[in-house]
Amino acid sequence: MFRLKLKGSSLSAVARKHDVSPQAVSNALDAPSAKIEDALAAELEIEVQQLFPERFDGNGNRLISTRERSTAVLACNTRRASA
C-alpha cells in the first residue's frame, strides 16, 4: 500500500480502474487472484513475481493456484446485474 501511495494511487483507485470492488483488491493481498495481482503489479510498474514472490517458484511459475470463476456463475451474475 505504501508503494501505491508513493505512485499517487490506492487500493480503491486500482479497484475503480479495473472495475472490481475495493474489498476484492484488499483480499488479493492475502488470497491469490491473478487478475488483481496483475492489476496491482501494472499499477506499480513491476512484475507480478516481484510483488508476490511467495506465490511463484524460481522459474516464475505460479505455486498457488487461483480461483477460476465458472461460466455458470458469470452468467448468473450477469442476469442479476441486468435485472
pLDDT of 74 reads 46
Under the banding of pLDDT at 50, 70 and 90, the label for residue 69 is low
pLDDT of 15 reads 95
Number of domains in the chain: 1
Residue 40 is part of which domain span?
Answer: 2-82
Supply angle C-alpha 10, 26, 15, rounded to 5.
50
pTM of the model: 0.71
Residues in the chain: 83
Here the CATH number for the domain that contains residue 24 is 1.10.260.40
Q: Is the pLDDT of residue 48 over 80?
A: yes
Q: What is the rounded distance in angstroms from the CA atom of residue 15 to the CA atom of residue 70? A: 22
Let me know: does 7 contact 13? Beta carbons within 8 Å. Answer: no
